Amino acid sequence: MKRIFPTTLILLLLNVCLTSCIINLDPASVPMGSSTDEIERTYSATTLGSFDRLDMGSAFLITVVPGNTPSMTVKGDRRDVEDLEQTTRSNTLKLRYSVSRVRRYTMRVTVTMPTLRGVTFSGATKSDITGFRNLSDLSIDLSGASKSYVDVQATRLTLDLSGASKLELIGRGTNFRGTVSGASELQSFDYPFADAVLDISGASHAYLTANTSLNVTASGASKVRYRGSPTVQQVVSGASRVERD
């Protein structure tokens, strides 16, 4: 009997192991490139109902613009679009996936609405909100490493950033009250306020402009840089800093 050389034996064993490990995975769970089965779906005002707030997550790419007639358009992989669940309750339009999958393709969401009072974006969403003017109150809540670019004008702005989220804010307002935590970042030099109240923690960063008053509570090695000539009141701890830019 011929002797099988060690190298040949090892190769045979590897081939058997690799063959036995082949699994027939659901295509939706296998990492792939861009979807080859992309569709677009539009929700009319009749379907959506009345809303002035948004609540969305799941790494959507979101665009929000003003318009007289409410509508929402989604564009993405066919299976992902079919999995979307849209509801409107208490003037809040919510959009989520109804089932969990390992692999999701990019989902683009465009919302048109007459006015805007608040957004809650989570789960690594990326959003662009532009064109809204003369708003009285606006609240922005970003979490889970979400990023947002906002160009609006609101008299009173309330903000909550957490979980390494980032907000770039452009426009003009009067009163600002914000909480920034969990290594998040606020860039709002180009959104001047008269009065601003900021609570910042967890190695976060904030850059803002205040012209009348600035009240800051900073902890956890956070950093605040400001422009303008406000009266500054600050409570600082844990290697945090509040500095004029």
Q: How far apart are alpha carbons 164 and 192 in whole angstroms?
A: 23
Measuring CA to CA, which residue among 122, 120, 39 is closest to residue 73? 39
49 three-state secondary structure:
coil
Task: Spell out the per-residue pLDDT of the chain, length 245, in tens.
Answer: 445 445 554 444 445 444 444 333 343 333 334 678 999 999 999 999 999 999 999 999 999 999 999 999 999 999 999 999 999 999 999 999 999 888 899 999 999 999 999 999 999 999 999 999 999 999 999 999 999 999 999 999 999 999 999 999 999 999 999 999 999 999 999 999 999 999 999 999 999 999 999 999 999 999 999 999 999 999 999 999 999 99
Residues with Cβ within 8 Å of residue 54, at least 6 apart in sequence: 62, 64, 92, 93, 94, 95, 111, 116, 118, 119, 120, 121
> Please, what's the b/e burial string for 50-59 (b: 16 or more CB within 10 A of its CB; e: otherwise)?
ebebbbbbbb
Residue indicated by tokens 């190769």:
11
Q: What domains can you pick out in the chain, each with its CATH number?
A: 34-115 (2.160.20.120), 120-245 (2.160.20.120)
Residue indicated by tokens 């409107």:
88
The long-range contacts involving 121-126, CB below 8 angstroms and separated by at least 24 positions, are 121/54, 121/56, 121/57, 121/62, 121/146, 121/148, 122/56, 122/57, 122/146, 123/57, 123/58, 123/59, 124/59, 125/56, 125/57, 125/58, 125/59, 125/60, 125/61, 125/62, 126/59, 126/60, 126/61, 126/62
What pLDDT shows up at residue 101?
A: 86
Contact 104, 122 (CB under 8 A): no
What pLDDT shows up at residue 27?
A: 35
Strand intervals (E) in the chain: 38-43, 53-56, 61-66, 71-77, 84-89, 92-97, 108-113, 118-121, 126-130, 135-142, 147-161, 166-180, 185-200, 205-218, 223-227, 231-236, 241-244
List the alpha helices (DSSP H) in 49-178: 78-83
In this prediction the pTM is 0.85
The CA-based diameter of the chain, rounded to the nearest angstrom, is 95
Q: How far apart are alpha carbons 114 and 69 in whole angstroms?
A: 7
